[in-house]
Each structure stands twice: as structure tokens, then as C-alpha cells.
Amino acid sequence: MEIKGHGTTEDAARAARADQAQAGHEKAARTRLLALGADRIGDRPWRPAPVPPSAVDLVQFALWRSSELTPDDVLQALALLPSARAEVDGLEDGLLFVARSAGLTWAQIAAAMGFNSPQACQQHHTRLTARRGTSS
């Protein structure tokens, strides 16, 4: 049987198992890095307690403490990169929404973000939005 976007039922089951495995890796990584001291990361005004550190916070913590990490700890931090990327994509999407809502032009946004043209910036935003499954 064909399932939209996944091929066969077997493909969908394989994708679900891969997602579950990745979630398990990320949970283990969070647990390990928090145990190494990331649980003492201070609160941010935009993310008050009791919100735990984000994946980006944990990856930055791993870089900061890299001289003290074992190779297994580094692997744990690497497992968080997909979540960190998704967080950064969300921040970028949100900030682009705010920029457009504030009346900034694509030319202004493109210049600030280092794109060669407003069209390239818009295309980047379209890809970002599609990747996140959001609409603008």
C-alpha cells in the first residue's frame, strides 16, 4: 500500500522507527549534557524558568566545555544538531515574519542577511517555510 510522502507502509514504519531512534538519542544526549552541568545554565528573560535549556543551548554548552568532554559526550552533542537546526530555522522564520510585518523590504532583509538579491532571500524564505511546514 502506498502512503503519501512515504511510499509503502513498510517505508512509513521504517521512517517511524528512525524517528523514534533519533528521539531516543536526543533524550540521552540532553540527559548526559544536563548531568555534565548544562542544568546550571541561567534563565533567559525570553525563556523564563522552568523551561529547560534548548538544543542550541546544550550544543553551545558542549562547545564551551569541549576540553572536558569524552568522545561519547561529543557524540551526544552531535545527536542534538537536528533539533538545534530546527530551533534556528524557527527563529529565522519568526524573525523574517517580524521583519516583513515591520515593513522591511526583501531588499533590506537580503542586505542584512548577506544575500545577493531580494529574490534569493525570498527563495530562501520559501524553502525555509516549506521545510518547517509553515505558511507565510
Q: What is the pLDDT of residues 106-124, one digit of tens each?
A: 999 999 999 999 999 999 9
Contact 121/109 with Cβ under 8 angstroms?
Answer: yes
Nearest to 64 by CA among 36, 44, 92: 36
Q: What is the pTM of this model?
A: 0.72
Q: Which region among 84-93, 105-114, 127-136 has the lowest average model confidence (pLDDT)?
A: 127-136
- The stretch 74-83 carries a mean pLDDT of 94
Mean pLDDT of 67-82: 94
- Dist CA 123 CA 126 (whole Å): 5
Average pLDDT over residues 13-26: 85
pLDDT (average), residues 63-88: 93
Q: How far apart are CA 120 and CA 114, in angstroms?
A: 10
Specify the amino acid at residue 100: R
Side-chain-facing half-sphere of 40: CA atoms under 13 Å: 3
By percentage, how much of the chain surpasses pLDDT 70?
93
Residue 82 has pLDDT above 70, yes or no: yes
pLDDT on residue 53: 87
pLDDT category at 135 given cuts 50, 70, 90 is: low
